[in-house]
A and B are shown apart, each in its own frame.
Chain A
Amino acid sequence: MKHLLLGTAALALTATMALAQDVVRMGTEGAYPPYNFINDAGEVDGFERELGDELCARAELTCEWVTNDWDSIIPNLTSGNYDTIIAGMSITEEREKVIDFTQNYYPPTASRYMALSDDADLEGGVVAAQTNTIQAGHVAETGATLLEFATPDETVAAVRSGEADAVFADSDFLLPIAEENDAGLKLVGEPVPLGGGIGLGLRESDTELKAKFDAAITSMKEDGSLNELLIKWFGEDTSTF
């Protein structure tokens, strides 16, 4: 076993020499369409894939995509398993204490409830949300019983099966599902504005990388290409810069 470990380390060393330029590892969840998801070919796809590739091209970085469970996405960034989080993560004060964010590449938007019927009890019933999200935090503050799940898909499945009365998530994640209208799922209640938009998460020590990404986002905001991407993935009605 020791040999195997040493062998891997040696392999890693030789690989380093072969690859002189720096590789930036982009960590994402791969389960939150349209932000990021795994496509039929088994690759990371979605708004953030296209955006991330463009940002890396503008910042002249070589980027590689890595998927990680949402639950451990921040600890694995701080321990250095990858260099950025680009996973639809809203900029919040609590997260700012642990990691740094670039400026937002997605404007502050509303979160929505989705349920099977219009009269679902959003204030006193059972509401599903993904663990460690701003939505879960919000539900905990309302009178509703919070039902947490590890993946976004499971939160929606809980409403379908009747386990939860409603699901609370980013409206852009829920919209395509509600438009499908399978099993009668629809958006209910009023939109709730949450968070300060979505940014790239970075380790607090990586100030140089943060500056590069900030500059790339600024240039995409200025030439309008970011707005084009937003409209392409989230529709005409989405908020732009």
Chain B
Amino acid sequence: MFSYCTDPDTLDRIRWFSCYLTTGVHMNFYKSFGTVLLLLAVTAPVALAFGFIGAIAARSSILAISLLGRTYTAMVRGVPDIAYFLFFVIALDQALEWVKHRVVCPDWTEPVRQGANFLVCPAAKIPMGNAPQAIHEAYGFAIAVFTFAIVFGAFASNVLYGAMRSVPRAQLETAEAYGMTRRQSFWRILVPQMWVYALPGLSNLWMVLVKATPLLFLLGVEDIVYWARELGGTKTPRFTDYPHGDWRMWYFLGLLVFYLALTRVSEIGLERLMRRLTHGQATAGGDALRREGPA
């Protein structure tokens, strides 16, 4: 990175670290922080959407849809996250390839399953075998986001379902008295007011999601945990210009600080959001705001 980095052995401590921390492999480490933040940024809204759909389904007056919504929550909530992650990533990948295989290679006669191998025709591989590495990584990441969203959507669905039932019945009765249809009272009265009841549960979920991001490593995405372990391991002088002992503790300490900082930022953000949502609500929090005087 810097011009004086050509011979690290001769450098004083500060310069040595300035070179060491800017090697290509460290740049990959820093990029993986972006991967984690991107995962959070994409997964949270998608999971919320899944949760919302699940909650609406569970509330449905049509039995089949209601059952579907409830089964989704019950199934995902009951299975350990890790089991779900490992199962879903493989199953989803194979299901997609199998469907594509059926479409693009109808003449393929060999069985798809041959012992341990899952072999679809080359044209049905997702991503294609000769696609650049970036595509493979993007695909892996997309599968990971989808899996996270399915799992956390189930929890969000339960939270939102509860929140929808917590909105005072009097509010909906008033809406009906004004002649609103079911759909109108749902979107205009129920949904805007339910968030204040949902937020404590959702904020909890957000924190769990933040803590769950190291599972990315299990899904084959090179995330911060992978790089911390790789970089922290002992390095002998023959294979690197920057030999060092077992520094895993320091790297994991860095991760600890990162996650704690992320938690603190989230807490501040969620607190502000809660204050906004409480405003004018018929809850104890809303009452407290009213007593404080006009905002």
| Bitwise interface map of B from 136 to 154 toward A, beta carbon under 8 Å scored 1, else 0 | 1011001001100100000
Q: For the complex, is B125 an interface residue (Cβ under 8 Å from A)?
A: yes
Rounded to whole angstroms, the CA-CA distance of A75 and B94 in the bound complex is: 13
- Which single member of A41, A69, A80 contacts B129 (CB below 8 Å)? A80
Q: Are A204 and B128 in contact (CB under 8 A)?
A: no
Among listed A121-129, A149-157, A186-194, interface-contacting one: A149-157
Rounded to whole angstroms, the CA-CA distance of A23 and B128 in the bound complex is: 10
- Which single member of A39, A64, A75, A205 contacts B240 (CB below 8 Å)? A39
Q: Are B234 and A66 in contact (CB under 8 A)?
A: no
Q: Name which residue of chain A comes closest to B19, CB basis.
A: A40
Q: Are A12 and B129 in contact (CB under 8 A)?
A: no
Q: Are A153 and B130 in contact (CB under 8 A)?
A: no
Q: Are B128 and A153 in contact (CB under 8 A)?
A: no
Q: For the complex, is B179 an interface residue (Cβ under 8 Å from A)?
A: no
Query: How many pairs of A and B residues are in contact by the CB < 8 Å rule?
Result: 135
Chain A contacts for B136, CB-based, 8 A = 66, 81
Q: Are B130 and A40 in contact (CB under 8 A)?
A: no
Q: Are A41 and B128 in contact (CB under 8 A)?
A: no
Chain B contacts for A83, CB-based, 8 A = 129
A8-B135, A40-B23, A41-B24 known; A1 and B130 CB under 8 Å? no
B27, B96, B115, B127 — which one has the most chain A CB atoms within 10 A of its CB? B127
Rounded to whole angstroms, the CA-CA distance of A64 and B130 in the bound complex is: 9
A5-B146, A38-B25, A151-B233 known; A12 and B116 CB under 8 Å? no
B25, B115, B131, B233 — which one has the most chain A CB atoms within 10 A of its CB? B131
Q: Name which residue of chain A comes closest to B93, CB basis.
A: A79
- Which single member of A19, A39, A156 contacts B132 (CB below 8 Å)? A19
Chain A contacts for B2, CB-based, 8 A = none
Q: How far is the CB of B122 from chain A (nearest CB, A)?
A: 9
Q: Are A15 and B24 in contact (CB under 8 A)?
A: no
A80-B125, A176-B239 known; A12 and B131 CB under 8 Å? yes
Q: Are A15 and B25 in contact (CB under 8 A)?
A: no
| Bitwise interface map of A from 82 to 111 toward B, beta carbon under 8 Å scored 1, else 0 | 010000000000000010000000000000
Q: Name which residue of chain A comes closest to B237, CB basis.
A: A180
| Bitwise interface map of B from 210 to 227 toward A, beta carbon under 8 Å scored 1, else 0 | 000000000010100000
Q: Are B146 and A66 in contact (CB under 8 A)?
A: no
Interfacial residues of chain A within 151-191, with CB under 8 A of chain B in the complex? 151, 153-154, 156-157, 160, 176-177, 180, 182
A-B contact pairs, 8 of them (CB 8 A): A39-B239, A42-B27, A68-B220, A78-B117, A79-B94, A79-B117, A154-B233, A156-B234
A-B residue pairs, 8 tightest by C-beta: A153-B233, A41-B24, A12-B127, A23-B130, A42-B24, A42-B25, A16-B128, A40-B23
- Partner-B contacts on A (CB < 8 A): 1, 4-5, 8-9, 11-13, 15-16, 19, 21-23, 25, 30-31, 33-34, 37-43, 45-46, 62, 64, 66-69, 72, 75-76, 78-81, 83, 98, 151, 153-154, 156-157, 160, 176-177, 180, 182, 203-205
- Partner-A contacts on B (CB < 8 A): 23-28, 46, 90, 93-94, 96, 100, 114-120, 125-133, 135-136, 138-139, 142, 145-146, 149, 220, 222, 229-230, 233-234, 236-242, 245-246, 248
